[in-house]
Structure 1
Amino acid sequence: MTQTSTIARGGDDTSAPSGRESRRARGSGLPEWVVPYVLLLPGLLVIGALLLYPLYQMVDMSFHKVGLRQIKAVNPAPADFVGTDNYQAIFSSDLFWSSLRNTVVFAVVTVALTLLIGTLVGLLLNKLGKKMSAFVIVGIMAAWATPPTAQAVVWKWLFDSDAGVVNWALNLLPDGLSSLLFGRSDWSGQPWLNDTVTLYFVLVVAVVWASFPFIAVSVLAGLKTISAELYEAARIDGAGALTTFRRITFPLLKPVFSVLVVLSIIWDFKVFTQLYLLAGGTVNRDVFNLSLWSYAEAFGGSPKLGLGAAIAVVLTGVLLVITFVYVRQIVKTEGVR
C-alpha cells in the first residue's frame, strides 16, 4: 500500500534496478562494453591458432637454414640462424624477377577478366526469369565448386598436344580462316603446356572459368538490392544500358566490387595447384610464379625450407602492400564523397 502511494505521488520506485545494474550483461555480471570482446574471444583464438601462429613459424623459419637434417623424425639437428641470407639469395636470383613478373601479370589479367565476365553474367542473370536464373546459377556454381585439382586435370586434357579437344576443334576450321586468324592451319601436336606464354594462357582460362561464377552471383545479389524505380527513371530519361550501368549500377555496387577485387587479387596471386599440375611439376623453371618457386625450393630434391619460407614471406608482403594500397585508395575516395 505504501509503495503504491509513493509511486502515485511521483516518488521513485526503489524496487526498479539501478542504472549501474542495467549496464551489466544479464546473468553474466560483466559490464556491457566487455561482452562483445568476450564473444569475439573464441574466434580470435581460432584465428590465432590456425593463422597467426603458422605465420609466425613461417617468418621464423625464413631466418634459418632448414633442410633434411633439421626435419628428420629421429634426432633432428637444430636449425642454423642465418639472418637475412635467405632474403639476399631471393633478391639476387634471376628466378625472383621472372617469378614476380609471372605472378603480377597473371594476377592482373585474371582479375580483370574474372570481374568483367562475372559482372556481365551477373547482369544477364538479373534479366532472366526466376527458373532460368536458378538453372544457370546451379550450372555455373558447379564450375566454382570443382576442386582445383580436378579443374587442372580437365583443362590439361583439353589442351593435350596429341589427344586434346582444343587441337581437334581448331583443325576443324577451314584452312584459310585458321591461317587468317592464327597464322597457321595445322594444329596437330601443338604443345600448349610447354611454352610459358601458352601455358599461362591455359592457366588464365582455367582460373577465370572457375572464378567468375562467384563474381556473377555476388553481383546478382547486389543488383537485387537496387530499386527498380531507379532503372525505370533512367529508361524514361532515355539512358542506354552503358549509361545506366555507369550512373546507377556501378556507383551503388561499388562496395561489392571493392570486396570482390580484394578477394580476387588474394586468390589469383596465390594460384599454385593448377599451375603445378598444368606445368607437370617443377621441371620448367621459366613458368614459376612465387608460389611454385617457394614449393620448389622447400620440397625439391635438396629441400631448403628456410628459403621456401622466405619466398612465401615475400609473397605475403607483396599481397599485403597491394591490398593496403587498394583499400586505402577506397577509403580516401569514400571519405572525399
Structure 2
Amino acid sequence: MTVDSQGAPTAAPQDASGRAPGTSKTLLPPSGSKPVPRPARGRRSLPGGALPYLLIAPAILSMAVLLLYPLVRNVILSFQQVNRKEFITRRPEWIGVDNYTQLLGDADFWTVVVRSVAFTAANVVLIMGIGTLIGLLLNRLGKAMRLVLSLALMMAWAMPIVASVTVFRWLFDEQFGVVNWLMRTLGFAGYDQHNWFESGFSTLVIVTVLVVWGSVPFVALNMYAGLTTVGSELYEAARMDGANGWRTFWSVVFPNLKPFFMITTFLEIIWVFKAFAQVYAMNLGGPDRGSETLPVYAYIEGQGQAHYGLAAAISVLTIVMLIAAMSFYFRLILKQEEEQ
C-alpha cells in the first residue's frame, strides 16, 4: 500500500498474475490445472525406422566383402579340380566331393590332423598353465616389480612373428646357437653342431616353445586383470578356514574366474590351431613335411603343389573342425547360464 500526494492510501501496483513487484517470480499454475512436467535433460529417444540398419550397413558390407565372399569362393573351389593346367586355362572342372573323398581316404591327411590336434593341445595346456601362474605372481608382486614384469610380457607379446622366429633359429643354430653352447657347458655330450631341425618332432618342439613364449603374456595379463575383481574378503575367509594356496585357488579364484578361463582357453585353441607363420617360417613344414599342421599343409598343397581345389577342401575341413570346437564352447556357456 502506498500514499498519494493527498495522503490517501492506494493499493500497490500488481502484475498480470496478481503479484506485487519484488516478490518471487515463481509462476503458479491456474487453479484446477496440473503442472506440466519438463523433459529430463540428456535423454534422447532411440532412433526408429531404418536408421539403425543404415548405421551398421558399412560394417556388414565390409565383412561380406572381406570375409563372406572369399569364404563362399573357397567352398566353391573345394568342389572343383584346379591344378596347374586349369589355373592357366582358367577352366576349372567341377568334380563334386572328390577332393573331400581323396582327403578323407588319405593317411597323410589324418597324420596331419592328429599332429595338429596334439600340437594345439600341448600349446594350450602350457599357455594356460604358465600364464595362470604368472598372473598369480603379478597379483602378489609389489608395484615396481609388477611394472617390470608387465613391460617384459608386453615386449614379448608385441614382437613380430617373423622377428621372433629369426631369433629362435639363431638360438638353436647348428654351429653358433646358444642352446648347443649351453648344453655343452652343462656337460651334455653330443651337442657339438647338433641339428635341432633334423626331425619334424624336434622342429615342432621348438615351435611350441616359440608359440608359448609369445602367447603367455596375453593369458598372464588378463589373469591379473581378473584377479583384481576378486574381493580380498574371500581370501581372508579362506585363510581363516585353513586353506592353503592350492585350495584357495580352486575354491576362490577358479569359481570367480571360470568365465575368464573358458573364453581364454577357447581363444587359445583357435589361435594355436590356425597358427601358420610360426610353423612355416621355422622350417617350411619340414623336414620331409614332418612338421606340417593343417594350415601349412593346405598352403603347401595349394601354392607348392598347385593343387588349389584340394587345398581349398583342406581349409574347409579346418573351418569345420573349428566350428565343432566353437559349438562345444557355446554349449558350455549356455549350460553355465542355465545353472546361474
Please give the range of the TM-score, normalised by the shorter of the 2 chains. 0.7 to 0.9
User: Is residue 95 of structure 1 aligned with residue 108 of structure 2?
Assistant: yes
| 1:282–1:292 CA contact under 8 A, matched in 2 | no
User: Is residue 327 of structure 1 aligned with residue 330 of structure 2?
Assistant: yes
User: Is residue 53 of structure 1 aligned with residue 69 of structure 2?
Assistant: yes
Larger C-alpha radius of gyration, 1 or 2?
Answer: 2
Structure 1 gap segments, 5+ residues each: 179-184
| 1:125–1:133 CA contact under 8 A, matched in 2 | yes
**Aligned position for 1:219:** 223
2:279 to 275, 279, 282: 275
Q: For 1:203 and 1:70, how far apart are their aligned partners in 2?
A: 36
Worse overlay, 160-169 or 43-52: 43-52
Q: CA deviation at 1:82?
A: 1.5
| 1:294–1:308 CA contact under 8 A, matched in 2 | yes
**Aligned position for 1:264:** 268
User: Is residue 170 of structure 1 aligned with residue 183 of structure 2?
Assistant: yes
Q: For 1:5 and 1:249, how far apart are their aligned partners in 2?
A: 61
User: Is residue 9 of structure 1 aligned with residue 32 of structure 2?
Assistant: yes
**Over aligned residue pairs, what C-alpha RMSD do you find?**
2.5
Worse overlay, 239-248 or 188-197: 188-197
Q: For 2:64 and 2:248, how far apart are their aligned partners in 1?
A: 45
Q: Against the structure 1 CA distance between its residues 275 and 233, is the aligned structure 2 distance closer, same or farther, given a 3 Å change threshold?
A: same
Give the AA of the match of 2:241.
D
User: Is residue 64 of structure 1 aligned with residue 68 of structure 2?
Assistant: no
Give the AA of the match of 1:9.
G
Q: Against the structure 1 CA distance between its residues 129 and 16, is the aligned structure 2 distance closer, same or farther, given a 3 Å change threshold?
A: closer
What SS class does the counterpart of residue 263 from structure 2 fall into? Answer: helix
Q: For 1:35 and 1:247, how far apart are their aligned partners in 2?
A: 49
2:290 to 286, 309, 312: 286
Report the identity percentage: 37
What SS class does the counterpart of residue 187 from structure 1 fall into? Answer: coil
Q: For 1:171 and 1:55, how far apart are their aligned partners in 2?
A: 51
Q: For 1:320 and 1:114, how far apart are their aligned partners in 2?
A: 22
What SS class does the counterpart of residue 285 from structure 1 fall into? Answer: coil
1:97-127 Cα deviation digits (max 9, x unpaired)? 1110110000000001000000100110111
Give the AA of the match of 2:201.
V
Q: Against the structure 1 CA distance between its residues 283 and 62, is the aligned structure 2 distance closer, same or farther, given a 3 Å change threshold?
A: farther
1:40 to 56, 71, 75: 56
1:107 to 120, 137, 162: 120
Q: Against the structure 1 CA distance between its residues 95 and 6, is the aligned structure 2 distance closer, same or farther, given a 3 Å change threshold?
A: same
Q: For 2:239 and 2:286, how far apart are their aligned partners in 1?
A: 55
1:177-221 Cα deviation digits (max 9, x unpaired)? x4xxxxxx2211322112122111111111000000010011111
| 1:98–1:286 CA contact under 8 A, matched in 2 | no
User: Is residue 157 of structure 1 aligned with residue 160 of structure 2?
Assistant: no
What SS class does the counterpart of residue 192 from structure 2 fall into? Answer: coil
| 2:198–2:287 CA contact under 8 A, matched in 1 | no
Worse overlay, 272-281 or 237-246: 272-281
Count of aligned pairs between the two proteins: 312
Q: For 1:7 and 1:71, how far apart are their aligned partners in 2?
A: 87
Q: CA deviation at 1:283?
A: 5.5
| 2:200–2:286 CA contact under 8 A, matched in 1 | no
What SS class does the counterpart of residue 119 from structure 1 fall into? Answer: helix
User: Is residue 312 of structure 1 aligned with residue 315 of structure 2?
Assistant: yes
Q: For 1:187 and 1:24, how far apart are their aligned partners in 2?
A: 70
